[in-house]
Structure 1
Amino acid sequence: MNIIRRILSASLAVVSCLGCRSQSVEPPVGVMSDRKLGFGVTEGSVGYELAFASAKHAGIQFIELPQQWDEIETSPGKYESEFVSLANRVYPALDTAIVLSLNPIDTNALRIPEHQRDSPWESDERIDAFCRWVDWTLAQLPDATVQAIAIGNEVDGWFAEHPEELAGYIDFFSAVVDHIHGKHPSIPVGVKITFAGRTGELVSDFNKLELSADVCMLTYYPLDESFQVRPPSSIEADFAEMIVFAEGRPIHLLEAGFPSGSACGSSLDIQAQFVDAMFAAWDKHVEALPVVNFVWTCDLSQAEVDTMTKYYGVELPAFAEYLGTLGLRTRDGNPKPAWSRVRDHVASRVK
């Protein structure tokens, strides 16, 4: 059972427990009105209801709901997922919007159903099949506020190894965006790309890809190629670079995180400095960059880290440390300095 599946399975408990157990979490700090704040809510050992309650009391406004195409469409036109309808029951009751990530690609993994593997990206067959899945998914969310839709997660991970497929994906993405605009014109659509990938060798191709996008969707972890942290002082320059290549599109940082582990050259104090630098840069560029989603609320267990390192196929010790110490709180729910900084920054910006 992966992290998202466990999180969503536990979510029903939130509605009944959020109020009755609120005494176990810090008091609410309020909600910022000039920007959108999200958290990647991981439950740690405290359980999802308390983890989400802590996020709610820290000002969360949206949560990302990732869905992998090959997990949902098990045969042509047959969809099996209780999680979307579950989200429709849970998050509207908690006044929490959803960013829907519908993934034919998840980083370096292709998430195409087996019966679609032989059709190219630009084919009517694949495009129509994906659009039918989009329609089915949105039909399960009649009560939810869908803040945005991402078509693919960190797709640069796949195209770095398969650049010959990128031209076809550009056509695929454009057709899917047109389809969503035709039925849901108020929902912005984009594609998630890592900041490193967006500024790398395929930058001109990603410029073409985003011509069809309403928003520039990025994931942002200030690390070098060996998973050593870059100084938080680099964030302001990174934001300025994002604004240049976004070319006027609103920037949604749908993942923003910074490990606290020493194997990544970090510490609890440096992670807290990252939060301070993020809010300082966000204040300066809030009109261009209205959305930030901090990852994660709690550190992962060793078993969860092992599962993810196997999925991504990266065996560097620093990579495991990066995954395992991204939490703003420890696995048992104790706040790291970074978590306290987030709460303080939100509280000072509530109007």
Structure 2
Amino acid sequence: MEKTGNRNLVSESEAPMGRKSAVMMAIICSVLLVSCGTESDDNSNGDGSGPTMKGDRILGMAITEAESTDYDIAVDIARGAGIEMIPLSVQWDMIETAPEVYDPLILTVANMYYPARDLNVALSINPLDSNNKRIPADLTGLPFNDSLVIARYCAMLDYAFSQIPDVELVSLAIGNEVDIYLGLEPSRWAEYEEFFIATKAHAESLRENLDIGVKATFYGLTDYSRSNLENLNAAADVVLVTYYPLNGDFTVKDPDVVHDDFEEIVAIYPAKPIFFLEAGYPTSDSCNSSEAKQAEFVREVFDAWDTFYDEVEVVSFSWLTDISQVQVDEFALYFGITDERFKEFLRTLGLRTYEGAGTDKQGFTAFVEEAEARGW
């Protein structure tokens, strides 16, 4: 998924099936009057038990706002809880609004805002966003491996990177949850693989030592698109995962599946770093969930991360705050899914509530405690 349910956001597709644009109008409309520890090299607690210190791991969160707060306040809350990174997801056709005509606003605001707040960014520039194709309108009839499509994406990357010279990037994703759009059609996968290899090579020339990959769902990576994604990820620097442990009817799986799920993906990709760029769990009773279950999920993620310390380098939780019903309906329309459980899943993903200034759920309390115990 990827929409940040921000009420000013036109999209983060950071819905488990996609997010249109991870922070967008939230940043643009936020007040830009911002103020701009050392850690031990020992990543254990000394006796081999309990939490593992953070070390070089990176903790992130998708920022969403409560009803009566602004983006600055939301960032302050998340920063106070220990996060170092935010996911920023932008669609290709939001940057290139007409052939070789670019809109700088989102990127230039990001370049002003996030370095000043000492936040790194996991950037996605999406030709695919879950079940949506987000390429410029004049290219829509062409396959992804067409030379013009590749050239135009590379030119757009040139422009995009020229607008964010000060942003410290954790990673670049060339597409969000691409397995959902590509489905089970071998020709689509072959075309996208060619596109990815070519555009990744170009992106490498724009920023040194940048980890580049493609975001895919956990169940695509481990089940229905496993072989296709193994082929695609062979060319990637990192495995980029969106993780929402759900059943097919949008009810939650028990939080105790987390450890086995981490173990499964590490076994599939033992030689590549793994970034969980979205990890979320709703609280709605319509999804057979609760605040207590979400809190248990948060603790299970931190515990599994300790177990797979060397393999999993990044975890980013979705979202800070629940979203409004208006946003839910917009996201459901975008994804073309009207199932009420899906809507409740989206609405209650936050670790804090939406109404008023928002209040902490048990999941946020668990997040703060687990992060602090590891030195964040």
C-alpha distance 162-79 of structure 1, shift in aligned 2 (>3 A):
farther
Of 292-301 and 237-246, the range deviating more from structure 2: 237-246
- The runs of 5 or more residues in structure 2 that have no matched partner are 1-8, 12-22, 37-52
Structure 2 residue matching 1:74: 3-state secondary structure: strand
Following TM superposition, the consecutive aligned residue runs of length 4 or more in structure 1 with deviations greater than 2 angstroms are 3-6, 10-14, 31-34, 161-164, 182-185
- 1:324 paired with 2:347, answer yes
Per-residue deviation at 1:72?
Answer: 1.8
Give the helix-richer structure, 1 or 2. Answer: 1
Tell me if structure 2 keeps the 8 A contact 1:14–1:52.
no
User: Quick check: 1:313 aligned with 2:336?
Assistant: yes
AA aligned opposite 2:159: W
Of stretches 97-106 and 199-208 in structure 1, the one that deviates more from structure 2 is 199-208
Tell me the SS of whatever aligns to 2:172.
Answer: strand
Shift of 1:10: 3.1
**TM-score after normalising by structure 2:** 0.87
What aligned pairs does 1:47-126 form with structure 2 within 5 A after superposition? 47-126=70-149
**1: CA distance, partners of 2:189 / 2:109:** 34
Q: Unpaired segments of 5 or more residues in structure 1?
A: 19-30
Q: CA RMSD in A?
A: 1.6
Q: What's the CA shift string for 1:209-248, capped at 9, x where partnerless? A: 0111000000000001111100111000000111122231
| 1:44 equivalenced with 2:66 (yes/no) | yes
- The answer to whether residue 155 in structure 2 is matched with residue 132 in structure 1 is yes
Letter in 2 for 1:43: E
TM-fit CA distance, 1:32: 4.3
2:201 alignment counterpart: 178
One-letter code aligned to 1:15:
V
Moved more, 178-187 or 230-239: 178-187
The residue type paired with residue 41 of structure 1 is I
| Contact persistence 1:32–1:59 (CA under 8 A) | no
* 1:243-280 residue CA offsets vs partner (Å, 9 max, x unmatched): 12223111000000000000001001011000111111
Structure 2: distance between partners of 1:150 and 1:207: 16
Task: Describe the SS at the equivalent of 1:149.
Answer: strand
Shift of 1:156: 0.9
Corresponding residue for 1:346?
371
Conserved 8 A contact 2:161-2:206: no
Judge conservation of contact 2:30–2:70 (CA < 8 Å) in 1: no
Q: Which of 5, 10, 28 pairs up with 1:2? A: 10
Cα distance in 2 between the residues matched to 1:143 and 1:328: 30
Q: Secondary structure at the match of 1:91?
A: helix
Q: Secondary structure at the match of 1:255?
A: strand
Give the secondary-structure state (helix, strand or coil) at the position aligned to 1:199: helix
For 1:226, the equivalent position in structure 2 comes to 249
Q: Percent identity?
A: 37
Q: What SS does structure 1 have at the residue aligned with 2:152?
A: helix
Deviates more, 1:226-235 or 1:118-127: 118-127
Q: Deviations over 1:107-146 (max 9, x none)?
A: 0000011111232211211111101111111110111111
Q: Which amino acid aligns with 1:81?
A: P
Residue identity in the other structure for 2:367: V
Once residues 242 and 14 of structure 1 are traced to their aligned partners in structure 2, the CA distance between those partners, rounded to angstroms, is: 42
1-side partners of 2:186 and 2:330: how far apart? 27
Q: CA deviation at 1:201?
A: 2.6
CA contact 2:184–2:225 (8 Å) conserved in 1: no
Cα distance between partner residues in 2 of 1:32 and 1:203: 30
Equivalent residue number for residue 262 of structure 2: 239
